[in-house]
């Protein structure tokens, strides 16, 4: 018996020693780089004129997922940033648009009246991730090692900084045009760190001057990211830290000037140079091959409709607000009650449930009447009852995206599915800009490139989805994926 006990004890000691000698490898830093409104084909449209070390380096050294699609509607900024970092869709993370209706009241995706601005007294500082119903990569990273990892985020837009950072981030910083510098909110801190105040003094711009509309705004975001990296000493400890960087100016400029506008080209030229510089900084501070970076977009963007029409390609517009007025007129004539439709967000039409209930009307009947009115518009292919979208007589791919985009507490009742290249407003002949929001490839096909730590050069055309990004990063880090993640880890 003594000999048997000695053998068992020896085996236990050997096992313990073996475990003690093993260590899971991990990068010093994870960098998420989201470029607002970046189409997938921009990787190649700008490639030949790109500088060495920027986008070229990411493509030539990284792993590109060439067929990454957004698997929900609508394809807009707040949802895209949330879905990248949570690995799920509006149905589960609850961010259903940049703004949306909740209990009949229109709300901002990051608005929070219970917090105050830090670095600004304006309403721009009243923001937090309270509306987000799921965790992020950063939240899971901090949970994995008892909150030793540090997570920071920066962008020009509040939603592009706050939603990627998650609920437990150390800080998120966004730009307040009214004061001309980066701010935060009391959700994260009581006052700006000294280094942020010093950065703002050196880089302040004129109040009420929209930096998103300038290529220099791209550079300013990267400069702030580098300042976070240096002053918070990210990547300097024995755990993985995370830095979320979102470039917002490309979206603002794209909306105004379109995918082929000269200022859009200037913005991407600047982006390319800034990426090259940022990668050099990461190489120097963190070490080449010691950080994991991914580049993607929150959504893409359609070609300008006038540009298409000038080249004999069909494009047109329809009035979403006009459609709401037509619905209200029809419902008022039938039921004698005004404004039974609240409004719209992207292509979702919201009905006024409180009025419908108080009038004793049948919601399904009201929806059918609204759908009949919407389908009178020959620019709309289908009007879909969102609660029954799974059985709608439309292509399976679109059914799935409507279902994924539908949250019963925050999404509209009816989805108006327009024809391809159909803008949700009536535009003029001198219109030069663009928009996004549809299921179509021009809005939903986004770039996805992994680079750095444990990433070999290569590419795949296998279908991947925006929700796969979080699952992939977490798999590489050997941590649990976010708590509502429905994505699958991509195999390199």
For 10-64, give the secondary structure using H, E and C.
Answer: HHHHHHHHHHHHCCCCCCCEEEEEEECCCCCCHHHHCHHHCCCCCHHHHHHHCEE
pLDDT score at 12: 46
- Helices and strands: H and E segment counts in the chain: 18, 21
**In the block, residue with structure tokens 């100016």:** 249
Three-state secondary-structure class, residue 340? coil
pLDDT score at 448: 99
| Catalytic residue annotation | 77
DSSP string, 413-468: SEEEEEPTTEESS---TT-------SSSHHHHEE-EEEEETT--SEEE-S-EETTH
**In the block, residue with structure tokens 């895209």:** 80
**In the block, residue with structure tokens 């937090």:** 128
DSSP string, 195-209: HHHHHHHHH---TT-
Q: pLDDT digits over 244-259, tens only?
A: 999 999 999 999 999 9
> What is the Cα–Cα distance from 89 to 95, expressed in whole angstroms?
8
pLDDT score at 426: 83
pLDDT score at 3: 52
pLDDT score at 212: 86
Which pTM value belongs to this model? 0.94
Question: In the chain, which residues have pLDDT < 70?
Answer: 1-22
> What is the Cα–Cα distance from 459 to 480, expressed in whole angstroms?
26
- Of 411, 410, 414, give the one whose Cα is nearest residue 372: 414
> What is the Cα–Cα distance from 361 to 341, expressed in whole angstroms?
13
């Amino acid at each position: 018996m003594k000999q048997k006990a000695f053998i068992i004890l020896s085996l236990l000691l050997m096992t313990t020693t073996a475990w003690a000698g093993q260590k899971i490898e991990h990068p010093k830093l994870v960098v998420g780089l989201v470029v607002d409104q970046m189409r997938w084909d921009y990787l190649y449209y700008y490639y030949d004129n790109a500088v060495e070390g920027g986008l070229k380096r990411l493509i030539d050294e990284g792993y590109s997922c060439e067929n990454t699609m957004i698997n929900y509607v609508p394809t807009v900024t707040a949802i895209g940033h949330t879905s990248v970092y949570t690995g799920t869709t509006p149905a589960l993370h609850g961010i259903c648009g940049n703004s949306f209706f909740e209990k009949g009241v229109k709300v901002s995706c990051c608005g929070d009246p219970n917090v105050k601005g830090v670095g600004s007294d304006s309403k721009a500082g009243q923001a937090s991730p309270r509306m987000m119903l799921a965790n992020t990569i950063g939240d899971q990273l901090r949970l994995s090692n008892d909150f030793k990892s540090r997570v920071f985020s920066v962008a020009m837009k509040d939603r592009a900084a706050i939603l990627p950072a998650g609920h437990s981030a150390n800080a998120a910083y966004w730009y307040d045009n009214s004061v001309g510098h980066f701010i935060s909110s009391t959700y994260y801190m009581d006052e700006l760190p000294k280094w942020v105040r010093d950065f703002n003094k050196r880089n302040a711009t004129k109040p009420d001057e929209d930096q998103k509309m300038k290529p220099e705004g791209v550079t300013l975001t990267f400069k702030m990211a580098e300042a976070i990296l240096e002053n918070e000493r990210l990547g300097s400890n024995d755990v993985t830290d995370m830095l979320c960087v979102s470039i917002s100016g490309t979206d603002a400029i794209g909306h105004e000037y379109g995918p082929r506008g000269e200022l859009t080209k200037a913005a991407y030229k600047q982006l390319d140079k800034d990426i090259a510089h940022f990668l050099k900084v990461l190489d120097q501070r963190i070490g080449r091959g010691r950080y994991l970076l991914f580049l993607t977009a929150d959504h893409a963007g359609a070609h300008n409709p006038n540009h298409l029409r000038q080249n004999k390609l069909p494009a047109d517009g329809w009035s979403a607000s006009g459609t709401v007025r037509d619905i209200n007129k029809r419902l008022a004539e039938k039921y004698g009650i005004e404004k039974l439709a609240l409004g719209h967000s992207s292509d979702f039409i919201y009905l006024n449930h409180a009025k419908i209930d108080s009038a004793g009307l049948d919601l399904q009947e009201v929806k059918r009447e609204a759908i009949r009115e919407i389908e009178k518009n020959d620019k709309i292919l289908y009007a879909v009852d969102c609660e029954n979208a799974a059985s709608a007589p439309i292509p399976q791919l679109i059914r799935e995206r409507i279902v994924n985009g539908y949250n019963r507490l925050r999404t509209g009742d009816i989805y108006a599915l327009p024809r391809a290249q159909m803008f949700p407003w009536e535009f003029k002949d001198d219109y030069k800009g663009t928009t996004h929001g549809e299921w179509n490839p021009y809005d939903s096909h986004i770039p996805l490139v992994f680079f750095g730590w444990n990433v070999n050069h290569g590419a795949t055309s296998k279908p991947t989805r925006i929700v796969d990004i979080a699952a992939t990063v977490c798999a590489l880090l050997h941590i649990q994926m976010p708590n509502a993640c429905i994505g699958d880890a991509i195999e390199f």
